[in-house]
């Protein structure tokens, strides 16, 4: 991992505290390590910016990516394949004082869970979704996924993938994401900054992380060559879409950011459901009034 930036005391302590005792079963050199390290660093950065670890909750789907749930010492819900972004929205809905981060795989997010992704962006739910995009269903032994290129050979498509891939950022921008970014697991510092920005953003934040699978889709060399940091920060919507479609070079950074009321504010009508609970007396009183009408 490229270091270079000096780290604060709090950050170092956080990194030490962060890993649980669970045995790590990611392949050596897996891109997921980069994402986890970036998240650890981001938690430290967030603490410096007033978001304590106690207020961060996570979810994960099912897949190699999702093991991050066991490895990272953050509270949360280990969800179902394709459903972590729905779980995350429920968590945020119940206690909007929390920052909620959903870790998803590319198949998780854009196959099984694509409706939840689109609607989370559409309603501008104040969650952060980080997609570990390795273009394959690694944990189930290598089938093609929604971001796999045409021709990709896997056990369910031995003659080569017969579909064209989606570009996740294009979909998310069109669906209404108010924060859209791409990171690369090989550039941990930048990814940590992106994740920090995503979590701090009030509204739906989408981060596509290029994450080669050393076992199935080892594109490290290709990405090292193609991925270039985005100069100058977020751009307008049209330009962001163009960047999202670009294949060479592959820009990394925050493409787009806009401000819009997060969904939870309007649907909760300004309340925090778990903190602002009505007393039993008030509830029964309200029911009596409704009954009396």
Partner 1 sequence: MTGSVGPQTGAAMGRRDIFTFIVGGRAGAGVKKSGATVSNLFSSMKRHVFQMDDYQSLIRGGHNFVATTTSVRRVTSHYMRADLLVALDARSVEVHRDHLAQGGVLVYNSDEVESDELPDGPETIGLPLHSLAKEHPDPELRLGLAGPAALAAVIGLSGEELGRLVETEYKRDLDANRSFAGAVYRAVSEKAGGRFELESGEAELPLLTGNEAIAMGACASGLDVYLAYPMTPASTILHFLAAHADELGVTTMQPESEIAVANLAIGAAAMGARTMVGTSGGGFALMEEAFSLAGMAEVPFLAALSSRPGPSTGVPTYTEQADLSFALNQGHGDFPRVVASPGSVEEGYRLAAELMSLVWELQVQGILLTEKHLSESRATVALDLEDAPDATPRLHDGGEYRRYAFTDDGVSPLVFPPSDELINWSSYEHDEMGMTTEDGFEITAMHDKRNRKLSTLTGRLKKMKTVNRYGDGGPVIATYGSTTLSVLEALRAGGIEATVVQPIYLRPFPVWDLEGLRESRPVVVEQSSTGQFATLLSDKLGVRPTAEIRKYDGRAFDPEDLAAELGDKIG
Site residues for partner 1 per CB under 8 A:
20-22, 52-55, 57, 59, 62, 67, 69-70, 73-80, 83, 86-95, 97-98, 115-116, 119, 267-269, 271, 273-274, 276-278, 280, 282-284, 286-292
Nearest distance from C-beta of residue 292 to partner 1, angstroms:
7
When the beta carbons of 121 and 195 are compared against partner 1, the nearer one is 121
Nearest distance from C-beta of residue 209 to partner 1, angstroms:
22
CA distance from start to end of the chain: 67
Nearest distance from C-beta of residue 45 to partner 1, angstroms:
18
Nearest distance from C-beta of residue 188 to partner 1, angstroms:
24
Distance CA 59, CA 91 (A): 9
Q: Supply angle C-alpha 197, 198, 203, rounded to 5.
A: 120
When the beta carbons of 12 and 284 are compared against partner 1, the nearer one is 284
When the beta carbons of 72 and 198 are compared against partner 1, the nearer one is 72
Q: Which two tokens stand for residue 247?
A: 């294949």
When the beta carbons of 30 and 191 are compared against partner 1, the nearer one is 30
When the beta carbons of 23 and 248 are compared against partner 1, the nearer one is 23
Nearest distance from C-beta of residue 67 to partner 1, angstroms:
8
């Amino acid at each position: 991992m490229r270091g270079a930036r000096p780290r604060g005391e709090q950050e170092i302590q956080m990194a030490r505290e962060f890993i649980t005792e669970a045995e790590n079963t990611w392949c050596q050199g897996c891109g997921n390590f980069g994402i986890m390290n970036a998240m650890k660093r981001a938690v430290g950065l967030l603490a410096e910016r007033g978001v304590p670890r106690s207020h961060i909750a996570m979810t994960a789907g099912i897949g190699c990516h999702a093991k991050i749930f066991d490895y990272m010492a953050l509270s949360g819900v280990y969800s179902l394949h394709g459903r972590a972004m729905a779980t995350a929205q429920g968590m945020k809905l119940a206690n909007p004082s929390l920052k909620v981060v959903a870790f998803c795989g590319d198949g998780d997010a854009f196959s099984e869970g694509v409706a939840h992704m689109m609607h989370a962006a559409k309603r501008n739910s104040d969650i952060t979704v980080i997609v570990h995009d390795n273009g394959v269903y690694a944990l189930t032994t290598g089938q093609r996924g929604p971001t796999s290129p045409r021709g990709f050979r896997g056990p369910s498509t031995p003659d080569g993938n017969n579909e064209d891939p989606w570009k996740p950022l294009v979909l998310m921008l069109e669906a209404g994401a108010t924060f859209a970014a791409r990171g690369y697991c090989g550039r941990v510092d930048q990814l940590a900054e992106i994740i920090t920005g995503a979590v701090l953003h009030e509204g739906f934040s989408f981060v596509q992380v290029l994450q080669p699978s050393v076992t199935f889709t080892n594109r490290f060399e290709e990405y090292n060559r193609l991925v270039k940091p985005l100069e100058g920060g977020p751009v307008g919507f049209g330009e962001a879409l163009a960047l999202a479609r670009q294949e060479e070079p592959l820009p990394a950074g925050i493409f787009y950011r806009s401000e819009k009321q997060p969904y939870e504010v309007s649907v909760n009508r300004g309340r925090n459901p778990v903190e602002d609970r009505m007393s039993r007396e008030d509830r029964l009183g309200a029911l009596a009034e409704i009954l009396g009408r």
